[in-house]
A and B are shown apart, each in its own frame.
Chain A
């Protein structure tokens, strides 16, 4: 079992739909939870960054963390064609040598159709 599981999709939705992207994890040591967006042929771009369980909102994006279920979600409201990209979850924990380790999901490919 991988430490972080993410369905690669692809996910295709009509413009204006609410999109739900999810990751599950197995390592209870994960402390920080991130969502990145990656457009084709570009580097990942940090969208949301959370520490505790609960919701965090930023514009049309809401990140949700449920540590008891080891489950995180990213919701995109009023989705736009410009949201078409791969969405990667990433999680970090304090590893050996007091270094923070980042573990990534595979990414979910999202297409928002006009």
Chain B
């Protein structure tokens, strides 16, 4: 088990609603990345935060936004939920390189 935790584990929302997912990074890690993983797909990079600043973003619309806090925990917010947002949302933390990041167990989001 890594030291990365995510909450909640499962979530059901309806189209148009907003959701906030949370991630607690491994101790000593100052970088957090968020990924979306659809069923049968590899993770898709959403964005990365380094010391509370966004440090890179994938091809996701602005309704996907995030925050990183002084203790390096992080939130992912998704507004105006769409059916295609149904996926496993993964948080990963690292101290120096994205290549050696540690993943949390994910939050499974279902949008109806």
Residues of A participating in the B interface, judged by any CB pair closer than 8 Å = 4, 6, 8, 32, 34, 41-46, 49, 88, 90, 92, 95, 97, 99-102, 104-107
Name the residue on A nearest B97 (C-beta).
A100
Question: Which residue of chain A has its CB nearest to the CB of B90?
Answer: A43
At the interface, yes or no: B98 with Cβ under 8 Å from chain A?
yes
How far is B56's CA from A102's CA once the two chains are assembled, in angstroms?
Answer: 11
Cβ of A44 to closest chain B Cβ, rounded Å: 5
Contacts of A32 in B (CB 8 A): 99
Cα separation A90 to B108 with both chains bound (whole Å): 22
Q: Does B62 contact A (CB under 8 A)?
A: no
B66 within 8 A of A: no
| Residue pair B102, A46 in contact (C-beta under 8 Å) | yes
- For the complex, give the distance between the alpha carbons of A48 and B18 in Å: 37
Given the complex of chains A and B, what is the CA–CA distance between A41 and B101 in angstroms?
A: 18
Which residue in chain B gives the minimum CB-CB distance to A32? B99
**Please, which residues of chain A bring their CB within 8 A of the CB of B97?**
100
Q: Check if A100 sits within 8 Å of B98, measured CB to CB.
A: yes
Across the interface, do B45 and A105 meet the contact criterion of CB distance under 8 Å?
no
7 smallest A-B Cβ distances: which pairs? A104-B42, A43-B103, A99-B56, A32-B99, A100-B98, A44-B103, A43-B106
Query: Is A34's CB under 8 angstroms from B99's CB?
Result: yes
Bound form: Cα–Cα A59–B55 in Å: 35
Complex Cα distance A101/B48, Å? 10
Min CB distance B107 to A, Å, is 10
Which listed residue (B56, B99, B106) contacts A49, Cβ 8 A?
B99
Report B1 CB to chain A, min CB distance, Å. Answer: 9
**Chain A residue with minimal CB distance to B55?**
A99
- A92 near B103 (CB under 8 angstroms)? no
Q: Which of B79-112 contact A (CB under 8 A)?
A: 90, 92, 97-106, 108
